[in-house]
Amino acid sequence: MQATPLTFYSFSLSGHAHRVALMLSLLDVPHRTVNVDLRGGEQKRPEFLMLNAFGQVPVIDDGGVVVADSTAILIYLAKRYGGDAWLPADPAGAAAVQRWLSAASGPLATGPAAARLVTLFGAPYDAESTVARAHAFLAVLDKELGRRDFLAGSAPTIADVACYAYVAHAPEGNVSLADYPDVRAWLARIENLPRFVPMASSPVGLLAA
């Protein structure tokens, strides 16, 4: 047990921040959460920029070790607290995880995540294009998950944590999951993991009243 709880700088509606919240919970890492006022521009103030020069959440401070960027944080937490369970040490296993971390920063970000940014935050993207990209990504994801229980194999890894939130909340961006049964089954498997924590839903897109 660490002497001082890790500090986690977060924003509750950020899927990137939820990746870290979920990983911290799955690994049962003691921590305190500091909610950053993104709407008020707190992330652009000098004191926060000292933590992350890009002015973005999430960030963690683990006893003086400061790590920014959700993917970097997942790797750090897996190595620091998870042994090889969440990030395999063997070359093939590590490569399988990296494939999906890249997808999380690529087609997931420009598809489901971007579509949600349009409806939730009014991001200046073409809504139709983001929805189309989201469905293209989900079609590949569904096919892949028809072959195995989790993205990188038979057990969950940080690949699943990196992709979960924006897929689970795709309907908020007007992206239906109805045609992707293996994706829905995968989401359920993640949600059944011990110490799973959800991200708050927002009444936008297909979830609008």
pLDDT of 2 higher than 60:
no
pLDDT in tens, 5-47: 999 999 999 999 999 999 999 999 999 999 998 888 889 999 9
Beta carbons of 74 and 20 less than 8 angstroms apart? yes
Amino acid at 90: D
Q: Give the residue-averaged pLDDT of 83-96.
A: 95
Q: Which residues contact 6 (CB under 8 A, 6 or more apart)?
A: 24, 29, 30, 31, 32, 60, 61, 62, 63
Q: Dihedral sign, CA of 140, 130, 177, 191?
A: positive
pLDDT at 37: 87
pLDDT in tens, 137-159: 999 999 999 999 999 999 999 99
Beta carbons of 182 and 142 less than 8 angstroms apart? yes
Strands 65-68 and 31-35: unpaired
Beta carbons of 206 and 169 less than 8 angstroms apart? no
How high is the mean pLDDT of the chain?
A: 96
Residue 209's pLDDT band, with cuts at 50, 70 and 90, is: low
Residue 50's pLDDT band, with cuts at 50, 70 and 90, is: very high
Report d(CA 60, CA 32) in Å as an integer: 10
Pick the more confident residue, 3 or 91: 91
Run of H or E residues at 143: helix 127-145
Tokens of 160: 């699943």
pLDDT at 178: 98
Smallest CA-to-CA distance from 12 within 31, 32, 35, 45 is with 35
Tokens of 43: 């992330």
pLDDT of 1 higher than 60:
no
pLDDT at 4: 78
Q: Which residues contact 187 (CB under 8 A, 6 or more apart)?
A: 164, 167, 168, 177
Beta carbons of 78 and 86 less than 8 angstroms apart? yes
Report d(CA 62, CA 24) in Å as an integer: 12
Number of DSSP helices (H) and strands (E) in the chain, helices first: 9, 4
Q: What is the pTM of this model?
A: 0.95
